[in-house]
Structure formats: C-alpha cells, structure tokens
Structure 1
Amino acid sequence: MAGHLYGVGLGPGDPELITRKAARLIATADVIAYHAGVGKESNARRIAADLIPDGVIEEELRYPVTTGSTDHPGGYAGAMAAFYEECADRLRAHLEAGRTVVVLAEGDPLFYGSFMYLHDRLSPDFVTEVVPGVPAFAAATAVVATPLVRQTDVLTVLPGTLPVPELARRLADTDGAIIMKLGRRFPGVVDALAQAGRLEHAWYIERASMPAERWMRVTEVDPATVPYFSLIVVPGDSLAADPGGRRAPATEARSRVAEGAAEVLVVGLGPGPEEWLTPEASTALAQVNHVVGYAPYVNRVPQRSGLQRHASGNTVEVDRARFALDLALRGERVAVVSGGDAGVFGMASAVFEAAEDPAYAQVPVRVLPGVSAIQAVAARAGAPIGADFAVMSLSDRLKPWPVIERRLRAVAEADLVLGIYNPASRSRVDQVAQAQKVLLEHRSPETVVVIGRDIGRAEESLVVTTLGALDPATIDMKCLVLVGASSTRVTSAGRVWTPRFVE
C-alpha cells in the first residue's frame, strides 16, 4: 500500500504557533523532509526540532542555488526544476514503500512555499494532504499590532521582485498590502512605495515571531541589513496606519481641497504603445493628482508619488465622469483617460453629458486628442481611409439595433469606407454577421475588408480579406474592422489604399 504525503505548515518561526494537527503528524511520521538553503541550517527543521521523534528518517532537501549564478544549461529556472524533480524522486521512493512522509514548510505550505512544487509532482499519484500554517504576514501584522484591513478594504499580497512601475501601480490600486521577497530588492520596493504614496505608513518587519524579530518604519531601514525573512506591511486605508493610533479616512488624508473648481482634462492615451501617447497628454498626466477611467486604461498610466488612481468597470461611464467632476469641483487636478482618442467612442462625450448638471457649471472641461484606433489600423494597412469615410459602433448598449442597421445601409449606399468599432463582445455574437448581410445588399462581395486586432501591441495582427469571405466568428472586441469603398484597392504587396478621386 502506498504511503501518505503531508505538507505541514509550521507557522512563521515561533514553535508555539505550530498547530496541534501539525505537531501530531510530525510526531507520528515515518519520514520528515525539509528544505535548506545553500550552506545554511534548515529553518523549517529548527522550528519543529522538539517535535521530531528519534529514529525517524530525515530527508534534507538542500537547494542547489538561491540567488547566485549557476552553470545549469537551463539557468536558474532549469536548475530549480531539476532540483524539484530530484526531491520528488527521493520522496516517491518512500511513498511507494508505504511510508508516511511529512514535508515541513515554513509559514503555510502553499503560500510562496517550496512544498507546492512537490505537491505538483506527487499528488497525482499519492494521497496528499495539506495542513495550513500561520503565514508570516499574519505574524508581522501582530508584531506591529496594526489592523491590516477592515470592512470593505482590499488586501493584496505582492512579491517585491515585481518591476518597480508594476509594484507601484498595484500598491496604489489597493487598500492594504503585504510585500514579500525583499532582500536585495528592498531599495526598489521603497521606490515603489514612494511612487504610490504609501511610504509614510509602511512598516518593515523582520523575523516575525522569532527571538531576533524587529520592526520599524520602512523609512528607517538600512537596505544593507534586510534579510530574506522580512516583509513590509502597508495597512489599509480605512483607518489608522500607526500602531495604537487613528487617522482620518484616506479620502480626507490624501485629498488636497483647494478654493475654486479645477479643470477636468479628458485624455486620449492612444491605442497602446507608449510612443503613440502625445507629448501634450504625457505632460498633462504628469501634472494631475487623480486619474479616473476604465481599469485597463488607468493601468497604462505610470504610478508616481502623489497620484491617486480611480479605476472602474466598462459600463459606468457617466458615473465615472461625475466622480471626476466632483473631484475638480473640490479643486483637485484630475484627468479622465480613454484608449485611442477620447472623443471617438470614448469618455469625452460622457464627461460633457455629466457636466450638463448645473452643479458642475463652474468646472471647465478640456479634451486632449489621442491617436485613434481607426488611424492605427489604417496606418498598418496602408491608406484605406485616404478618401471619405464613416465611423460606427456596432454596440447596441446605447442605441437600438434598428438605428445601427439604418445607418449601415446609409453608409453602404453612399459608398463610403466604413470603420467599425466594438464589432462584437461576449454578449453580442451575431451583430457582425448581421452587419455583413446588410452591407452585402449594397456592396460587392469583393469589397476589401481589413481586420486589425490589438494593433500597436505585441500580439497585433492584421488580416486583409473581402466582404464575402469575412468570417464573423473571427471577430471579437479587440478588433477594429475597415470595410472599403468600391474604389478601395490592394497592391501586389498587400497594402490597402483608397484613391482620393472618384472615377
């Protein structure tokens, strides 16, 4: 009969934080396995030392490399993969012999732990159970006696190994945060905290629950002294960040209420690449205190110190606009962002719609243009909109389908090049086919069609086909479709263009 595999969490370091179940399993195991660093004592074994019975088989799983270099042909990842395969093979032999194997894990076995790689390899073949442990961040929060999150606060756990801009963005977009994996990355983490405006209330905790534990403000830490067993706690925004103290809610603490209304800027970010963001837009975004928009667009704005980001879903444009106007009414410098050009099926119209409310009469609105998606697709294709053209959205969320159909017929009858935004979505799967049918009533099946997907991004694609050969099933929300006029042509090199003249 095959043996059982247990991944046993030991908690953050204090042996008294080991659960009763973990202690029972350790005391009755046939095999105790634990990881150890290069040239170091196993911390997991040290924590559980008093519970390990005499005569038990011990398997020390010593890492071949930590942060140093390796001559493995697969590099660090290859060396570690080979190591975990070797470890799994060693434990597999015990399990096949019917032994009970307990793998000791610091903190919780499945929280940034090595046990998960053994679990991946062994659990398909052997009965496996995971015994949870107190995670290190819970001990760290207890050390500083600071509420981490409460009520509707959101907690995010982040590795300090993230690129600084990405780490800063995520810190700015959450309430409470835990930052793990510090060590040599500590200076970059401090930079990210400063960019996100979270440095002042961030706490550094080292060796939580261990005899050598210490804690202090992140601003007081010497980067040269930061060990592996350390993390940063960023308390949530709803209440105090100081142990034993209280402060005003973040909306009050971070806001700068000025006399008189400020201007709302509506900024087009372009289709995606940084080089397609205009200098005017870049300068504006560097000067505002708040960025408001649909989450994927807000995420494209680099985080920096003093900037607050307000992301929301895709169907609350007017509510989003009102929020921005309210900020401006209090004197806050705010930018509402859109992909492409904000005036082309973007946030500009929604802001002006919300601004019709007399309450916002004193708030000026200025729109900064951006490169539109139709311009980007057209440029990749050649010059398909070199003559008269029309632009439409197939979304029927804000207008009924009969109106869309009537406009499609009008454009087709006028023989204009047609740019189609929002051609399909998860809930709108038939409209491209319906539009194709309407257009074919007035256009030749040989009419040139260009399909641009994610233009300007790494995964971009451009397809040139015809109206008759167009497969609606290949179109999704990431596409912009250009339907040519009768005069639109394709060169021998596959470039698409529409003459300026009419024959």
Structure 2
Amino acid sequence: MTGRFHGVGVGPGDPELITLKAARLIASADVVAYHAGRGKESNARRIAASLIPDTAVEERLTYPVTTGATDHPGGYTGALADFYEESAARLAAHLEAGRDVVLLSEGDPLFYGSYMYMHDRLSERYETQIVPGVPAFAAAAAAAAAPLSRQTDVLTVLPGTLPEPELARRLADTDAAVVMKLGRTFPAVRRALEAAGRLDHAVYVERASMEGERRLPVAEVDPSTVPYFSLIIVTGDSRNGARSRRPGEPAEARTVTGPTAASAAPAESAAAGTTGPTGSTTPAAELLVVGLGPGPDAWLTPEASAALAEVDHVVGYGPYVDRVPQRPGLTRHASGNTVEIERARLALELAARGERVAVVSGGDAGVFGMATAVFEAAEDPDLRHVPVRVLPGVSAVQAVAARAGAPVGGDFAVVSLSDRLKPWDVVERRLRAVAEADMALAVYNPASRSRTEQIATARRVLLEHRPPETVVVVGRGVGRPGESLTVTTLGDLDPATIDMRCLLIVGASGTRVSASGRVWTPRWVKP
C-alpha cells in the first residue's frame, strides 16, 4: 500500500494558530516536508517545530532561486518547474514506500502556497488530504483590528506583483482589498493605492501573529524596511463611505456606482441645473462621449486622452472602462454589455448634477457605439438640458482596413449582423442592397456565443449577388495581443472560423490583392 499525502496549513506564524487536525497529522507523520529558500530557515517548519516527532524523516525542499538570476536554460520559470518535478519525485518515493507524507504550508495550502505545485503532481496518484490553515490576511486583519468587509462589500485579494496601472484599477473597482507579495513591490503598490484613492484607508501589517509584528498606515511606511512577510489591507466601503474617491467630499454628496443607481439622485429639469441642499443651483456639466479606438494606447487620440485626464467619472462597458488608467479622484462605473440606455442615463444624471463625466466606447463612439444611446436617453425631458459632446475615435473598420491595405478606398457600407436591436429580415435586405450596389462592405458583430448562424446566412445572401472570387478580409482582435489578419474569398470563407472578435471586409468587384498581398479597392469604377 502507498502512503497518504497531506497538505497541512500551519497558519501565519503563531504556533497557537495551528488547528487541532493539523497538529495531530504532523505529530503522527512518517515524513515531514517543507519548502525553504537557500540559506534560510523554513518559516513553515519554524511554526510547527514543536510538533514534529523525532522519528519523522524531514525533507527540506530548497528553492534553487527565489528573486535572483539563474543560469537555467529555461530561466526562472524553467528552474522552478524542474525543482517542483524533482521535489515531487522525492516525496513520491516515500509515498511508494508506504510512508505518510505531511507537506507543511504557511497560512493555507491552497492560497498562494507552494503546496499547490506538489498537489498538481501527486494528488491524482496518491490518496491526498488537505488541511486548511489560517491565512496571513486573516491574521493581519485581526492584528490591525480592522474589519475587512461587511454586508455586501466585495473583497478582492491582489498580488503586489501586478502591473501598477492594473493594480490601481482593481483597487478602485473593489470595496475591500488585500494586497499580498510586497517587499520590493511596495513603492508601486503605494502609488497604486494613491491613484485609486484608497491610501487613507490602507493599513500595512508586517509579520502578522509573529514576533516583531508591526502595523501602521501605509502612508507612513518606509519602503526600504518592507520584508516579504507583510501585506496591506484596505477596509471595505461600508465602513468608509461610498466610493467617490474624492478627498474632502461629504458622504451625503457621494455617488452610488453602477447603472442601477440612475434613479438614486434624479436630475432636475430645465437649464437651471440641479438644486443642492442649501438651495444653490449647480449647472449641468458637459457630458463627453469618448471613442477609445480598437485597443492599443497609440490609437487613442490626444483629444480623448486629455478629456479622460480631466473627468471625475468614467461610465461604460466593463472592458472599456478597464482601459482608462486609474488616478486620484476618478470614479469608475462599469456595467454589462446590454444595458446601454441605463449607462447613458446614469452618465447624463451625473452630468446634470454638475459632475464631469465621460462615457467611453470602443472604436468610435458613433459607430455602433455609445453615442446614439446617450442621445436616445437625452430625449428624457429631465435630461435634455445636459450638453453632450462626442469625441471621435479610430473605428474597428479603419484599423482592419489599414492592416489589410486599402480595401475601403472607394465607396463602402457598414452593416452590423446583430439582430438585438433590429429584425434579421432588415439585415438581409440591407446586405442584398449593398451587394447589388457593388460596394465594399464592412461587417460588424458577425457572430457571438448566442449568434452562430448569421454569418453563414450573410455569406449565402452575398453569394447571390457576388462571385465566389470576391476578396474577403477577416481581422481578428486587430490592435490587441494575438491579432490576426486573413485574406480569403467569399467562396472559401468558413463561417465556423468567425467569432465575436472578428470584423470582416467584403470587397467590391474591383477589389484586388497586390503581388505583395495588400488588399485595395480602386477609387474609380469602370462604366
């Protein structure tokens, strides 16, 4: 019989926080294993030292590298992969011999722990049991006597190794947060907290539950003194007030995020603006509708970038809001993909109260974007007085066309295959009209998870009026990592290869492919 494999959490540092079950398994283990850095004591072993029996075989699994350089041909990742394979083989040898193995893990085995790499390699081959442990952030919250989250607060756990802009965005978008893996990352984490408006409620805890425990406001921490065994907790909004992130603003004036908050503070009608609690009148601010372009920052116009640097609120579909860098004073209102009017109304109501607001949209906001939704919502008599300005952006069709060459160099049409806002028979009539007019055609929204047949139907409709040799350009994720561009024909186009990230350009009869592979449509049309 083989031995049993146990992943045992020993808690954050104080031996008295080891669970009774963990203590029993450690005390009866045939083999006790633990990870350690070169020349360093294993913190997990130190915590459990008094429980390890004299009869137990100890397996010290020493990392070949932690933060330094390595000459391994696979670099840091390759060195660790080999290390985990070798470590698993050492433990497997004991298990094959019938010995029970306890692998100690600081905190909890399944929370940022090295145990998981052994679990991946051994759990399917040997009987495995996992014993949870008190995670470090729970001990840190207790040490700081700061409740992390209450009621409906959302708690997000973040590694400090995230890119600074991404960390700031995530900190701004959650109610409560824990930031792990500090050490050398602390300066960037502090800047991200400040950009997210969370610095005032961030507490630094070092060596929670251990000897030398220290806690103080993040703003007072000397970065040169921050060890690996430290983390930051940001208490939830039910304690600190709504997330306006605007220093000095009274709690009663702070806005509620999300499109469902649109009715929380209805705008007053007429150009007089919104009446405040003291009877003063706040004029409506201009609402900006901003096209972000298809993806890369280089395609964001200077005008749009300058506008986003000045507003206090950004409203939009989640992935587009994510593209706006977080900074102090910015409140983000992200929502799903099918609530355009609710989003627009929220933005208009914020602007009606005098808030500086930008509604963001991918590509150009006026091409199947948020601009029309804003103008539709602005038909409400209570919101007509809000001035709206649309800032153009690079559209997806422009991006794909530029990658291909000049397939829309002559007359062209743009059609969306989505039938969410119009009947499919209308789409078909428009496809036939464009095909009969012999214009190049840009096809937006060719497919989605729920719409898989439209592109096949559109291809059939177009082939009724266009020859199979008609040039087709398929751009997928153009401007983003992993982008691709395929030049094919209408006859050879495989609808099964088209997904929601694609934009198609179907050429006119004159569209051609040059010897270099560039697609272009002449400006002239032969009589």
TM above 0.5 = yes
Q: Match for residue 40 of structure 1?
A: 40
Q: Match for residue 421 of structure 1?
A: 444
Q: Match for residue 309 of structure 2?
A: 286
Q: Match for residue 244 of structure 1?
A: none
Deviations 1:351-379 (A, max 9, x none): 11111111112211100000111111111
Letter in 1 for 2:153: D
Letter in 2 for 1:189: V
Structure 1 pair 174/251, CA: closer, same or farther in 2 (3 Å)? Answer: farther
Structure 1 residue matching 2:201: 3-state secondary structure: coil
Distance 1:115 1:251 in 2: 48
**Is 1:19 aligned to 2:42, yes or no?**
no
Shift of 1:396: 0.2
Q: Tell me if the contact between 1:378 and 1:385 (Cα under 8 Å) persists in the aligned partners.
A: yes
Shift of 1:251: 7.5
Structure 1 residue matching 2:239: 3-state secondary structure: coil
Structure 1 pair 448/3, CA: closer, same or farther in 2 (3 Å)? Answer: same
Shift of 1:455: 1.3
Deviations 1:389-438 (A, max 9, x none): 11110000000101111111111122221111001111111111111111
Structure 1 pair 351/221, CA: closer, same or farther in 2 (3 Å)? Answer: same
Distance 2:442 2:149 in 1: 47
**Is 1:398 aligned to 2:416, yes or no?**
no
Q: Match for residue 70 of structure 2?
A: 70
Letter in 2 for 1:292: V
Q: Tell me if the contact between 1:237 and 1:250 (Cα under 8 Å) persists in the aligned partners.
A: no
Q: Match for residue 330 of structure 2?
A: 307
> Which of the residues 255, 263, 272 maps onto 2:295?
272
Shift of 1:104: 1.0
> Which of the residues 330, 336, 341 maps onto 1:318?
341
Structure 2 residue matching 1:360: 3-state secondary structure: coil
Q: Tell me if the contact between 1:237 and 1:249 (Cα under 8 Å) persists in the aligned partners.
A: no
Letter in 1 for 2:345: R
Q: Match for residue 456 of structure 1?
A: 479
- Cα RMSD (Å) of the superposition? 1.8
Q: Tell me if the contact between 1:238 and 1:249 (Cα under 8 Å) persists in the aligned partners.
A: no
Paired residues for 1:21-420 under 5 Å: 21-240=21-240, 252=254, 259-420=282-443
> Which of the residues 514, 517, 522 maps onto 1:491?
514
Letter in 2 for 1:98: G
Q: Tell me if the contact between 1:14 and 1:210 (Cα under 8 Å) persists in the aligned partners.
A: yes
Shift of 1:443: 1.7
Structure 1 pair 439/71, CA: closer, same or farther in 2 (3 Å)? Answer: closer
Distance 1:62 1:407 in 2: 67
Distance 1:498 1:89 in 2: 62
What runs of 5+ residues in structure 1 fail to find an aligned partner?
A: 242-246
Q: Match for residue 6 of structure 2?
A: 6
Structure 1 pair 460/205, CA: closer, same or farther in 2 (3 Å)? Answer: same
Distance 1:251 1:102 in 2: 55
Structure 1 pair 121/248, CA: closer, same or farther in 2 (3 Å)? Answer: farther
Q: Which deviates more from structure 2 when the two are superposed, residues 290-299 or residues 342-351? A: 290-299
Letter in 1 for 2:315: V
Identity of aligned residues (%): 74
Letter in 1 for 2:49: A
Structure 2 residue matching 1:208: 3-state secondary structure: coil
Structure 2 residue matching 1:359: 3-state secondary structure: coil
Q: Tell me if the contact between 1:239 and 1:248 (Cα under 8 Å) persists in the aligned partners.
A: no
Distance 2:215 2:474 in 1: 57
Deviations 1:86-132 (A, max 9, x none): 22222112111101111111100111111111111211211111101
Distance 1:218 1:275 in 2: 34
Distance 1:220 1:322 in 2: 41
Q: Match for residue 262 of structure 2?
A: none
Deviations 1:273-331 (A, max 9, x none): 11111110011111111111111111111112221222111111111111111211221
Deviation beyond 3 Å, 4+ runs, structure 1: 247-251
Shift of 1:250: 9.6
> Which of the residues 432, 445, 467 maps onto 1:444?
467
Q: Tell me if the contact between 1:239 and 1:249 (Cα under 8 Å) persists in the aligned partners.
A: no
Shift of 1:249: 6.1
Structure 1 residue matching 2:487: 3-state secondary structure: strand
